[in-house]
Chain A
């Protein structure tokens, strides 16, 4: 069964550093998403991406965040200057169309120290 792959599974970074979280969505999917889950809390939408541009973003997704699909296979989330409160599990998801099911990756646990 096709999978969404996220790397790394766990990343530790110092406050103020830039991090890039990587995702390889399912190859024929068209819609891509990033979600965040702070420990013990609910899963929150960050951003959706379609046709090589952001289609929607949440209030959380401020200027410190950016997304890219640089080569048609990877889908990355960049946090420019990490803060302690960015520590969370980040999930990537993809879907084939606007009504199809989502496939989630296993997540990247980001720890900012």
Chain B
């Protein structure tokens, strides 16, 4: 069975702090894709990143970085120098080739960045 676990329900930080959102996944498939989405208070799902299972290279995009470790089945997301605009719910998600492409979401982590 496929599963995504985001153990942190809520995180609160002060602006300019670094914060890491954890994501652990389970799958028996060898080909899979991992995603992060941001859901601001307005409700839409904003795509942040997609990673395939064959690419363990870490990625950095501005203040965002992602650490993919197959050995621990984790795909963690770090925001450096957080800003108030980063306040949102962040979802980690998994899709596998053999499952017809549906996305399996974690429970989400609500990040609150205070000024």
Question: Which A positions have Cβ atoms within 8 angstroms of B?
Answer: 31, 33, 35, 41-45, 48, 50, 55-56, 89, 91, 93, 95, 98-99, 101-104, 106-107, 109
Query: Once bound together, how far apart are the Cα atoms of A45 and B2, in whole Å?
Result: 13
Q: How far is the CB of A34 from chain B (nearest CB, A)?
A: 10
Chain B nearest CB from A101 CB (Å) reads: 5
Please name all residues of chain B whose beta carbon is closer than 8 Å to the beta carbon of A33 when the two chains form the complex: 101-103
**B contact residues around A102 at 8 Å (CB):** 35, 47, 103
Q: Contact between B43 and A106 (Cβ–Cβ < 8 Å)?
A: yes
Main SS of the interface on chain B? mixed
Which residue of B43, B101, B104, B108 contacts A98 across the interface (Cβ within 8 Å)? B101
Nearest-neighbor residue (CB-CB) of A98 within chain B: B101
Chain B 30-42 per-residue mask, 1 if CB under 8 angstroms from chain A, else 0:
0001010100000
How many angstroms between the C-alpha atoms of A45 and B105 in the bound complex? 8
Q: Between A and B, how many residue pairs show CB distances below 8 Å? A: 54
Chain A residues, CB < 8 A from B104: 45
Q: Indicate whether B61 reaches chain A with its CB closer than 8 angstroms.
A: no
B96: min CB distance to chain A, Å = 10
- Give the residue of A55, A99, A104, A109 whose beta carbon is less than 8 angstroms from that of B45: A104
Q: How far is the CB of B107 from chain A (nearest CB, A)?
A: 5
Name the B residues within 8 Å of A56 (CB-CB).
Answer: 99-100, 102
Contact indicator B108/A106 (Cβ below 8 Å): no
Given A91-B45, A106-B43, answer yes or no on A55-B97 (Cβ-Cβ < 8 Å). no
Interface centre among A43, A45, A50, by most chain B C-beta atoms within 10 angstroms, is: A43
Given A43-B105, A44-B105, A56-B102, are A98 and B97 also a contact pair (CB < 8 Å)? yes
Report Cα–Cα, A45/B33, bound state, in Å.
Answer: 16
Given contacts A42-B91, A43-B91, contact A101 B102 (CB under 8 A): no
What is the CB-to-nearest-CB distance from B98 to chain A, in angstroms, rounded to a whole number?
10
Residue B50 lies at the interface, judged by CB distance under 8 Å to chain A: yes
With the chains together, A14 CA to B68 CA distance in Å? 46
